[in-house]
């Protein structure tokens, strides 16, 4: 299976050196709200590469990844008025929008839209990105989480990959992997529990 063949390569992935929470994000959001064009240039400098990387990993085509990155930035530009400059987490919002644009694209390619529509607009509402633990959004936490990800077994990594990078539900994973639904749910629950605990400990440390 193509995906399973790719999994071992995860250990060699270079880490994106991006902190997803910066103290000066609030100022940047205020400038974006005022529609200062220079603020868009700063937003791109801060999150352009990481957004593009996430999208490319999902769509695996550079031309499409560029289109979707542009779509991501326009989406944020047009909706930033509803974003809480003081308490909102800009990095996580950007990555969520980027990932959802890419998943939406691959779902439309394989005609899964009609079968199981996802209301991404609702899931990525700017108001949802408040109250996130700032200390969990550092480069150090990302490093620890990456190490924890590498320690998951192959089945656990596979289900994480399918949910995050292919947008699959438990049922769709069970079909793809030809495994009982309960087994897939167990793999996912265990994997998330490990990652959740790791991130929480990293944030406290």
Partner 1 sequence: MNCQELKDLYELYALGVLEAAEKAEIEAHLARGCENCKRGLADALALNAVLLGIGPAETPRRQLRHRILASIGYERPGWFWTGALAAMLMLALAVWLGTQERERASQLAEARRQLLQISGERDRLSQAVWFLSDPDTRPASFGRGQEAAPRGYVFLHPQLGVMLIASNLPAAGAGQAYEMWVMPKTGAPRPAGMFQSDGMRGLQILSGPIDLDALDAVAVTVEPEEGSAAPTTMPIIMAPAGD
Residues in region 55-74 near partner 1 by CB under 8 A: 56-57, 62-63, 65-67, 69-71, 73-74
Which lies closer to partner 1 via its Cβ, residue 4 or residue 131? 131
Binding residue for partner 1, selected from 7, 26, 132, 194, defined by CB under 8 A:
132
Distances from the Cα of 132 to the Cα of 9, 129, 149, angstroms = 31, 7, 21
Q: How far is the CB of 91 from partner 1 (least distance, A)?
A: 6
Binding residue for partner 1, selected from 123, 125, 154, 201, defined by CB under 8 A:
123
Half-sphere exposure in the Cβ direction for 71 (13 Å, CA) = 16
Q: How far is the CB of 155 from partner 1 (least distance, A)?
A: 17
Q: How far is the CB of 9 from partner 1 (least distance, A)?
A: 9
Sign of the torsion formed by the C-alpha atoms of 34, 35, 41 and 43: positive
Tokens at residue 120, please? 């991404």
Binding residue for partner 1, selected from 119, 127, 204, 205, defined by CB under 8 A:
119
Distance CA 28, CA 31 (A): 5
Q: Is 35 in the site for partner 1 (CB under 8 A)?
A: yes
Q: Interface residues for partner 1 in 141-180 (CB under 8 A)?
A: 141-142, 145-146, 149, 160, 163-164, 167-171
Q: Residue 130: beta bridge partners? A: 88
Distance CA 186, CA 133 (A): 27
């Amino acid at each position: 299976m193509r995906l399973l063949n790719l999994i071992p390569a995860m250990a060699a992935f270079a880490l994106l050196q991006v902190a997803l929470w910066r103290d000066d994000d609030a100022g940047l959001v205020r400038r974006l709200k005022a529609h200062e064009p220079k603020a868009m240039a700063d937003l791109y400098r801060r999150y352009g590469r990481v957004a593009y990387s996430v999208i490319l990993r999902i769509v695996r085509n550079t031309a499409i990844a560029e289109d979707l990155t542009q779509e991501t930035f326009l989406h944020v530009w047009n909706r930033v008025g509803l974003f809480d400059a003081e308490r909102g987490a800009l990095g996580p919002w950007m990555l969520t929008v980027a990932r959802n644009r890419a998943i939406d694209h691959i779902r439309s390619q394989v005609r899964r839209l009609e079968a199981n529509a996802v209301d991404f607009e609702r899931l990525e509402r700017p108001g949802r990105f408040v109250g996130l633990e700032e200390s969990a959004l550092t480069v150090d936490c990302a490093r620890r989480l990456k190490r924890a990800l590498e320690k998951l077994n192959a089945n656990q990594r596979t289900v994480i990959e399918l949910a995050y990078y292919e947008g699959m539900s438990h049922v769709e994973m069970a079909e793809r992997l030809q495994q009982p639904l309960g087994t897939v749910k167990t793999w996912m629950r265990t994997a998330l529990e490990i990652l959740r605990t790791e991130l929480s400990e990293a944030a406290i440390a």
